[in-house]
Structure 1
């Protein structure tokens, strides 16, 4: 989820080149994402394996999305990776408090970031 069309375009290209996933959903704000994900919570085959989440979005920001998403009783685990340009230590520390957050990735994302996610070794250091 990201409201920046340039980042979203670049990420879609990177995802395509790296064969990161077959199905891609993109949302411009956290509310739109929640509205689309909530109907899937009891259907494991519909839930995404990974969510790339920006912190600074309109309507519902990344933190508000995490608060709401963390309360859902999902049918299976969904890994969330924060993708943000923030280098603020407070943001990184706060991200570690969410069990649903696997890692904090600094924008712009690189192919190695996506490969790390696929290999399962892109967790917090």
Structure 2
């Protein structure tokens, strides 16, 4: 599996962040991991990176239920931006509501919705699916 250059984790749950980062590091999937506690913080920093010409993530692991801006707020604004390469979003949520599944499909950048808890095997499997689009 080719390494993904940068993965961004947007989640307010420190346990999920720890598990995701640990899984990514153990599987040696990514060269760099950045993290944010809510959608607004992530959006502002990613826009800043975009404007400066810095490299931005190839993959975003996005929680839906967060304070300030939830995952939907983030997607609504982030999907309006234009990037020169594909950014894949994997929604990671504790919600198994079919309405969330349907809503997620409305965003072209969303590749899948994964119901928590996220295991290393589940995360690696999803990232390996994405790997094909980064080659």
TM-score scaled by structure 1?
0.88
Identify the residue that residue 14 of structure 2 maps to in structure 1.
5
Quote how far apart the aligned CAs of 1:112 are.
2.6
**1:75 corresponds to:** 84
1:37 aligns with 2:46: yes
- Deviation for aligned residue 1:20: 1.9
Residues 121, 16 of structure 1: alpha-carbon distance in 2 compared, 3 angstrom cutoff = closer
Contact 1:41 1:72 in 2 (8 A): no
Q: Give the C-alpha shift of residue 84 in structure 1.
A: 0.4
Q: What is the CA distance between 1:119 and its match in structure 2?
A: 2.4
CA contact (8 A) 1:41 1:73 kept: no
Number of positions where the alignment pairs a residue of Structure 1 with one of Structure 2: 121
Matched residue SS, 1:41: helix
Structure with more strand by fraction? 2
Q: Summarize deviations over 1:84-122 as a string: whole Å, max 9, x none.
A: 011000001100111010000111112233322332269
Secondary structure, counterpart of 2:75 in structure 1? helix
Which 4+ residue blocks in structure 1 deviate beyond 6 angstroms?
A: none
Counterparts of residues 1-125 of structure 1 (less than 5 Å) = 1-41=10-50, 43=53, 46-120=55-129
Q: TM-score, normalised by structure 2?
A: 0.82
Using CA pairs under 8 Å that are at least 6 residues apart, name the structure with larger relative contact order, 1 or 2: 2
